[in-house]
Every structure is written in structure tokens, then in C-alpha cells.
Amino acid sequence: MLIEKEEKRSDRYRNVLFRSSTEKPFAKRVPVSHRARAAKNCLILDNGFFREEAASIGSELSRCDIMSFSEALEQYGIVIEDKIQKLADHDPDHFVRMNARESGDGLFIFFPKHFCLSEPLYIDLRFEEGVKAFPKLFFFLSEGVEIECIMNIYGAKELSLNMLTMLIQEKRSRMRCVSLTHASERSEVFTGLRAQLKQDAVLSMQEFSRGALFLRRDLHAELEEAGAAVDFSGCDILDGTFQANSYVKVDHKAPDTLSKQLFKATLAGHARSSFEGLICVHRGASRTDAYQMSRAVLLSEEAKAFIKPNLEVYQDDVKASHGATIARLGLEERTYLAMRGIGPEDAVRLLVRGHLEEMVHKAPPVFQKEVEAFYEK
């Protein structure tokens, strides 16, 4: 009886997805990034739908199972559906629950054991004007996998995007990912990440944006076995009425785990930003080493930033610290540069660049030029 109920629920979920996948194709193409166009490994999603015919898959990447999310439901069935159902029922974030409950296609990649990608993977997500999209991305890294990936999100003038990324990393797997969000002042962008890391797995995730009408990212990693490590960082340059909000949680559930959170923002005009981070060290997670820092620089009187760091520690013999700063660009720094012949505009640009330099250099070397170009716009 239980199996029969599961099959009915499974069929109902698939039917919703396949109705969604028959919607009209992407009409006005958003250009693929220059680096992605030349890349050996590049995957394209239009309005949240994986376009296999537009993908560039090198000989290495062809060893992986790459398919649309709806196809993955056919092949991997109940494993994915149970994950989605748990998020829909129990996830604390409203937008993650909403995505899990809504129809929407996306991308699934299974990386086999000890797979190593010698060249980076580009994933471009492109959305046309007026679209409401709920794409789902699911990455499964088997034991010993090593990959680097860059994700570009291109939004038209009016976009409502709610994207959920699910990541499972088996022991000794490593992933470095950079995400660049190109949105407009009339776009609403909600992104969520749910990551599970096993023994000695390492995840480095960097989020870069110039804001949106409303941009919200929610990152949650569970370090489930000894030696797991995560490095979350984010950087926002905001102007006008743009907003960017970050919510980050790391659960240390096993001993000898490591986490780092570093988020920075510069705000001009009437821009708004917020950061709320939580480090939770569970019982038994001895010798945890966790660090959290958020810094914001205000370039105008009207700009506002809000920071709320949190620690929950239920175990002795751990290192856990957090810090936060919000500061206005001071007269002292500008005067110092003016005395050396640097004009007001160049001085601001130089000081902002100094504030962000650390974030640029945290990106994998292969992506640093792309990150620099993103902020030089």
C-alpha cells in the first residue's frame, strides 16, 4: 500500500514537470558569455530548461550523466523525489519550500567516482523578459571527484526567478564554484543552496552580484562526517535602489570539520543589503573550526546595511568566531589620496577596489578575469 501511494505521488509529480516542459521555447536568445562560448565544457539553460542541443560537452565531461531534471526523475526516481519532498515539507526557508513545491525543470549531473575535470565547467542560465521560473539543479559528486565550475545567471529587465541547487558530495570530493548574477533593477531573484558533505569533502562557493530589485540568497551546508569543509563567500556592489540579502547557515555535525563565511558589500545611492549568518556546532562535533565575517562599506548617506551574526555551540573543544563591520567611506582616506593627486571619483573607485580585492583573489585563477570584468562594468 505504501509503495502504491509512493508510485501515485511519483506519477503526479512527473506529470506536472512534463506539462511544464512543453511550454513555448525560449524566444529571444540572451547571448552566451564570451568565455562560455569558447569553453570546451558549457551547459545552457533557457528559462530554466536544459538545452542539450546547445551544450558543449568535452570528452572528459561526456563520462558524466548529464540530463534535464525531469529526465533524472525517470532514471533516479524516488531518491530525488524524497529529497524534494523533504525540502517542500520541512525546509525553514519559504522560497526553498516554494521551489520544491512548484513545477519546473532544470539540470541534473552525476559525476562518477574519481572523476577529475581538467578544464572548468560553464553553466549559463538565461531568462527572457516576464518569465517566472523555478529551475532545480541537482549535482551528485561521487567519491574523489574534483571540479571547478562557473555559473552565470542572466536576467532580462523583468524576471521572477526562484532557483534551488541541491548538492551531495561523497567522501574526498572537491568542488569550487563561482556564481555571477546579472540582474536588472526590475528583477526579483531568489536562490537557494542545500549541500550535504561527507568525509573529507570540500566545497568552496562564491556568490557575486550587482543586486536587483530584490535579491535573496539562502545557503545551507551540512557537514555530516569528519573532515568535511565549506567556504562560503559573497560580494555585492549595489547602487540606486538595488538590494541584496544573504542568509547563510553551516551545521557542524561531525568532529574535525571546518567552515568559513566571508561576505562583503559596497552600497551607494539608496541601496540596501543584509547578511544573517549562523554557525551551529552540534554535540559530538569536537575540534570544529568555524569563522564568520561580514563587512559593508556605505558610499552615501541614504545607503543602509544590516548584519546579524549568530553562533550556536553545543560542544566543548571547538573554535568558533564571528565579526561584523559597517563603515562609511571616511574623509580621512579621501584626504590621504587627494594629497597624492588622486581625484575624488578615482579615490572612491580605488578604495572600493581595495575592499573587494580579497574576494576577487579568492576565486579560482581561471575565473579571476571574468570576476574582475563583472565589477568593472
* Dihedral angle of Cα 103, 148, 353, 320, to the nearest 10 degrees: 80
Q: Has residue 23 been placed in a domain?
A: yes
β-bridge partners, 292: 261, 322
How many other C-beta atoms can be found within 10 angstroms of the C-beta atom of residue 114? 12
Of 19-23, 93-97, 187-191, 228-232, which range is least confident? 19-23
Name which residue leads in pLDDT, 358 or 220. Answer: 220
What is the number of domains present in the chain? 1
Q: Has residue 370 been placed in a domain?
A: no
CA distance 348 to 332: 12
Alpha-carbon Rg for the chain, nearest whole angstrom, is 21
Q: Has residue 351 been placed in a domain?
A: no
Half-sphere exposure of 116 (CA within 13 A, CB side): 4
Q: Are 180 and 153 in contact (CB under 8 A)?
A: yes
Q: What global pTM score does this model have?
A: 0.86
Q: Has residue 5 been placed in a domain?
A: no
| Range(s) of the domain holding residue 33 | 12-330
- Give all strands of the β-sheet with 202-209 in edge-to-edge order: 49-50, 41-46, 121-127, 146-155, 174-182, 202-209, 229-238, 258-267, 289-298, 319-328
Q: Has residue 368 been placed in a domain?
A: no
Q: Has residue 360 been placed in a domain?
A: no
Q: Has residue 355 been placed in a domain?
A: no
Residue 369 Ramachandran class (φ > 0 left, ψ -120 to 50 alpha, else beta)? alpha
Q: How far is CA 183 from CA 104, 109, 229, in A?
A: 20, 26, 30
Burial tier of 217 (Cβ tally within 10 Å: 0-12, 13-18, 19+): buried
- Please tell me the predicted confidence (pLDDT) of residue 32: 53
DSSP-derived letter for residue 302 is S
CA distance 350 to 341: 13
Residue 144 Ramachandran class (φ > 0 left, ψ -120 to 50 alpha, else beta)? left
- Please tell me the predicted confidence (pLDDT) of residue 33: 53
Q: Has residue 244 been placed in a domain?
A: yes
* Dihedral angle of Cα 126, 269, 193, 163, to the nearest 10 degrees: -30
Q: 309-345: per-residue pLDDT in tens?
A: 999 999 999 999 999 999 887 667 777 878 888 887 7
Of 152-166, 276-290, 314-328, 359-373, which range is least confident? 359-373
Burial tier of 267 (Cβ tally within 10 Å: 0-12, 13-18, 19+): buried
Q: 91-130: per-residue pLDDT in tens?
A: 999 999 999 999 889 999 999 999 999 989 999 999 998 8
Amino acid at 133: A
Give the helix/strand (H/E) hosting 370.
Answer: helix 368-376
Q: Which of 315, 250, 248, 323 is nearest to 280 (CA)?
A: 250
pLDDT at residue 295 greater than cutoff 70: yes
β-bridge partners, 193: 165, 219
**Residue-wise DSSP of 200-249:** T-EEEEEEEE--BSEEEEEEEEEE-STT-EEEEEEEEEE-TT-EEEEEEE
pLDDT at residue 289 greater than cutoff 90: yes
Q: Are 107 and 48 in contact (CB under 8 A)?
A: no
